[in-house]
């Protein structure tokens, strides 16, 4: 994902703008948090004005909506604060309205925001992946379950988990007087928004209510602290692994080298295999091979990851 | 299916262009703000490097270890930045 490092950014400092993209009904406003300059994928704070009405319809990209205040109605069901909805690409969401208004966060994951009025799914839609839950009422806080783990006092509620990439969307909190004295970086991009509260990071200072970041992989962050605690929502695009250390001055390249070195020690056989010549493109038997779509980075022993495949002729 | 191929409209192209310009402006502002934070950050780093020698550094959950003085990293001469 081609998004720049946006950290820290506080949306309270900027006004809402009217959503003017084609297809969207009047009454939706947004603040852009970050966007992918290649495909238009966007993370936004969103405001549904009182009386907002959206007919049934779909988006060309999957998207996630989290309600922070007020409520929306989807079909007959009312969704209040803490509600989370994951809508796969092409799935027609029932009519959405907000009689008294609402604010939330919306993440269009693989393309710019789009809305096409429709009361039936697109032929390519995967409706079984649709998910909706009220995270405040119906999910429990758990420890983070990442190894190595964050310090006690940081807890999560998992909203969505991608079984292929291990990317996930989660709520997290820090208890009052939370502190974690180390520096971390990850192999994944990480994004977060503070619904309430202020936390501190040694590199960036305070992140208050309305604070946001989009952080590309391998960027140092931490030590961490929060005097009164926080409530936040976070997302990653792939597996979140905590590479902890205590050198404040390492750069991205050094952190990448270290992460690769750790694979060598943690998964020596896999590391050896990935480095062997020949067809080293891992095949996941649950998914397409990938060449046709070019969805996995690989090379053929020449180190040329950027390449194309000729279409193979079908044997008759 | 995460994304369904479609032709981006002219309005969407224009919207995207405008948002990219605004994001560049936002990014430059963040870089400037973070540059201005340098004196405070230097102090925070010095305090952190002291704390990990006395109270310890977190290695996993509640596990910590005290860092020996000879393990404390030395600031390299290259320019240090936190926003990339």
Query: Using H for helix, E for strand and C for coil, what is the string for A123-147?
Result: CCCCHHHCEEEEHHHHCCCEECCCC
Res. A179: pLDDT tops 60 = yes
Query: pLDDT-based confidence at A281, cuts 50/70/90?
Result: low
Contacts of B2 in chain A (CB under 8 A): 61-62, 88-89, 109-110
Res. A295: pLDDT tops 80 = no
For residue A90, give how far its alpha carbon lies from the nearest alpha carbon of chain B (Å).
7
Predicted interface score ipTM higher than 0.95: yes
Q: Which of residues 43-102 of A touch B (CB under 8 A)?
A: 60-62, 88-90
Q: Could you give the CA distance from residue B19 to residue A66 in angstroms, rounded to a whole number?
A: 22
For residue A42, what are the CA distances in angstroms to A28, A47, A101, B8? 15, 15, 22, 15
Of residues A296 and A207, more confidence is placed in A207
B79 burial type by CB count under 10 A (0-12 exposed, 13-18 middle, 19+ buried): exposed
Contacts of B11 in chain A (CB under 8 A): 20-22
Res. A294: pLDDT tops 60 = no
Q: Could you give the CA distance from residue A298 to residue A6 in angstroms, rounded to a whole number?
A: 29
pLDDT digits (tens, 9 = 90+) for B12-39: 999 999 999 999 999 999 999 999 999 9
Q: Could you give the CA distance from residue B51 to residue A82 in angstroms, rounded to a whole number?
A: 37
pLDDT digits (tens, 9 = 90+) for A57-67: 999 999 999 99
Contacts of A6 in chain B (CB under 8 A): 23, 26-27, 30
pLDDT digits (tens, 9 = 90+) for B40-80: 999 999 999 999 999 999 999 999 999 999 999 999 999 99
Which of A34, A208, A248 is the best residue to mutate to test the B interface, defined by the most B CB atoms within 10 Å of its own CB? A248
Q: Please compute Rg for chain B using Cα positions.
A: 22
Q: Which of residues 208-227 of A touch B (CB under 8 A)?
A: 216, 219-220, 223
Residue A111 DSSP label: S
A167 touches B at CB < 8 Å = no
- Report the alpha-carbon angle A105-B22-B7, nearest 5: 75
pTM, full prediction: 0.91
- Residue-wise DSSP of A210-269: TEEEEE-TT--B--EEESS-EEEEEEESB----EEE--TT--HHHHHHHHHHHHHHHSHH
Of the candidates A139, A115, A121, the residue with the CA atom closest to the CA atom of residue A66: A139
Please indicate whether, in this complex, the C-beta atoms of A114 and B12 are within 8 angstroms of each other: yes
Mean pLDDT computed over A107-136: 97
């Amino acid at each position: 994902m081609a998004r720049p490092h946006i950290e820290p950014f506080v949306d309270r400092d900027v006004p809402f703008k009217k959503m003017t993209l084609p297809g969207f009904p009047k009454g939706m406003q947004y603040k852009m948090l970050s966007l992918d300059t290649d495909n238009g994928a966007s993370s936004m704070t969103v405001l549904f004005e009182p009386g907002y009405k959206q007919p049934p319809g779909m988006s060309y990209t999957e998207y996630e909506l989290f309600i922070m205040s007020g409520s929306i109605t989807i079909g007959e069901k009312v969704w209040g604060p803490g509600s989370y909805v994951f809508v796969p690409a092409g799935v027609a969401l029932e009519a959405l309205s907000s009689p008294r208004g609402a604010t939330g966060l919306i993440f269009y994951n693989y393309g710019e925001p789009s809305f096409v009025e429709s009361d039936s799914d697109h032929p390519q839609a995967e409706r079984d992946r649709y998910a909706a839950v009220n995270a405040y009422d119906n999910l429990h806080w758990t420890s983070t379950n990442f190894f190595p783990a964050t310090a006690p006092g940081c807890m999560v509620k998992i909203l969505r988990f991608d079984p292929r990439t291990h990317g996930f969307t989660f709520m997290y909190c820090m208890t009052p007087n939370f502190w974690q004295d180390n520096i971390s970086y990850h192999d994944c991009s990480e994004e977060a928004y503070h619904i309430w509260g202020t936390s501190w990071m040694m590199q960036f200072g305070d992140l208050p209510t309305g604070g946001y970041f989009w952080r590309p992989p391998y960027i140092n962050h931490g030590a961490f602290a929060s005097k009164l605690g926080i409530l936040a929502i976070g997302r990653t695009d792939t597996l979140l692994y905590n590479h902890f250390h205590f050198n404040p001055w390492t750069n991205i390249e050094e952190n990448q080298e270290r992460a690769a070195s750790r694979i060598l020690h943690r998964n020596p056989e896999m590391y050896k295999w990935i480095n062997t010549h020949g067809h080293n493109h891992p095949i996941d038997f649950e998914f397409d091979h990938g060449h046709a779509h070019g969805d996995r980075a690989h090379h053929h022993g020449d180190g040329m990851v950027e390449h194309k495949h000729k279409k193979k002729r079908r044997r008759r | 299916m995460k994304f369904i191929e479609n032709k981006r409209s002219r309005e969407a192209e224009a919207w995207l262009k405008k948002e990219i310009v605004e994001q560049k402006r936002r990014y430059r502002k963040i870089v400037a703000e973070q540059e201005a934070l340098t004196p405070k950050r230097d102090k925070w780093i010095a305090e952190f490097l002291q704390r990990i020698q006395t109270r310890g550094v977190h290695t996993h959950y509640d596990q910590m270890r005290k860092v020996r003085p000879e393990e404390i990293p030395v600031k390299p001469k290259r320019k240090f930045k936190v926003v990339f």
